[in-house]
Amino acid sequence: MKKILITCLFALLGLTQVQAEEGGYPLDKAPDKLNDVVALQHGAQIFVNYCLNCHNAAYMRFNRLKDIGLTEKQIKDNLLFTTEKVGDTMKVSMDPKEAKAWFGGVPPDLTVIARSRAGRGGTGADYLYTYMRTFYKDDTKLTGWNNLVYPNVAMPHVLWQLQGVRTPVFETKTEHDEEIHEFKGWTQVTPGSLSSLQYDQAMGDLVAYLQWMGEPAQNTRVQVGVWVLLFLLVFTLCAWRLNAAYWKDIR
């Protein structure tokens, strides 16, 4: 019993540490683009060009992108850059030892990242959408970047050329004799190749793709679920009327 209590205590301490590491910045609502094929295709392009350099998606094959309207030729011409084949899984060639030396840890697999990051009052999509839009320049970090959603994150801002360089603006307040820093907005230091609105839309496309990748059959599942519920509703109505007709003469 004592060992169980100690294990639970360490688990709680670990949970507290994770919550402390990941900042209290409120999550923004991610746009719903799961049924937008164009957005999913654009998100897949961003993912392959920027995320797949360091992160694996080892449980997803390139040929599964046919489900979002891409042909095999489009996949080969636009999303395969080295010796990969259409039937291969989305793996990177980075050595885990080198990745740990560079980033302090091996970059996580992103196949189901949108499902695993749910919490903090939002979905995994909300978390990722906010996370990808809250990087800021911080010269005190080894990568030169920091993040409001995940302070002290080891990941650099790989999309900074699209978003540009920004710094957060805080207002210092005193509450209960303690200084707190309240986030007020952003200052754009240097512009990116995309406007703020265009970057947000691009991140919405990327997050939609990450959602889809975590469960490619989810749209089909929802459609089938609706038809199953309709069938059960009709079946229940028929069963109710048959039951009434069966017991009519007996009563």
Q: Give the CATH number of the domain where residue 103 resides.
A: 1.10.760.10
Average pLDDT over residues 144-157: 93
Residue 10 lies in a domain: no
- List the one residue out of 195, 162, 134, 133 whose CA is nearest residue 45: 162
Residue 12 banded pLDDT, cuts 50, 70, 90: very low
Q: Within a domain: residue 8?
A: no
Residue type, 222: V
Residues with Cβ within 8 Å of 232's Cβ and at least 6 positions away in sequence, in order, are none
> What is the Cα–Cα distance from 228 to 213, expressed in whole angstroms?
24
**Any domain includes 5:** no
Q: What is the pLDDT of residues 155-194, one digit of tens each?
A: 999 999 999 999 999 888 887 778 787 888 899 999 999 9
Alpha carbon 27 to its chain centroid, in Å, reads 12
Q: For the whole model, what pTM was predicted?
A: 0.79
- pLDDT, tens digit, 9 for 90 and up, residues 183-241: 888 999 999 999 999 999 999 999 999 999 999 988 788 888 999 999 999 999 999 98
Tens digits of per-residue pLDDT, 103-130?
778 899 999 999 988 876 789 999 999 9
How high does pLDDT run on average in the chain? Answer: 85
Q: Is position 223 within any domain?
A: no
Query: Would residue 249 count as lying in a domain?
Result: no
Amino acid at the residue 35:
N
Q: How many domains does the chain have?
A: 1
What is the span of the domain harbouring residue 35? 24-216
What is the spatial distance between Cα 39 and Cα 61, in angstroms, rounded to a whole number? 19
